[in-house]
Amino acid sequence: MRADVNDDEGAGAWAGAECRDGTGALASLFFSEQLDDIARAKAICAGCPLREPCFEVARDRREPYGVWGGRLFFKGKVLAVKRPRGRPPKVARPEVAALSA
């Protein structure tokens, strides 16, 4: 399925989107830079029947940011993984050893 959200037919096609709650309350989740919000947005997309067309339309439209079709767009590129803010440590942090009983 391929639909453009800007025409009448396309708008109807997106009615089944999991993120479409009619209030826009989820927008902050889908455009957040917080890793936990991004993960929640991707989880919502995982159950969406429009996942693939959503991704294709976002890619074609060159969306700069946000979670679209279960994938994260950042500065116009699709990221496999979003790193946390700040520099990575120069020395790997030691593994936390499990306490034995």
Is residue 69 a contact point for ligand SF4 (CB under 6 A)? Answer: yes
> Binding string, 14-33, against ligand SF4, x = CB under 6 A?
---xxx--------------
Is residue 44 a contact point for ligand SF4 (CB under 6 A)? Answer: yes
Is residue 78 a contact point for ligand SF4 (CB under 6 A)? Answer: no
In the complex, the smallest distance separating the C-beta of residue 30 from ligand SF4, rounded to whole angstroms, is 6
In the complex, the smallest distance separating the C-beta of residue 80 from ligand SF4, rounded to whole angstroms, is 17
Alpha-carbon distance 3 to 91, whole Å? 49
For residue 50 the two structure tokens come to 């429009």
Q: What are the b/e assignments for 24-41, b being 16+ CB within 10 Å?
A: eebeebbebeeeebbebb
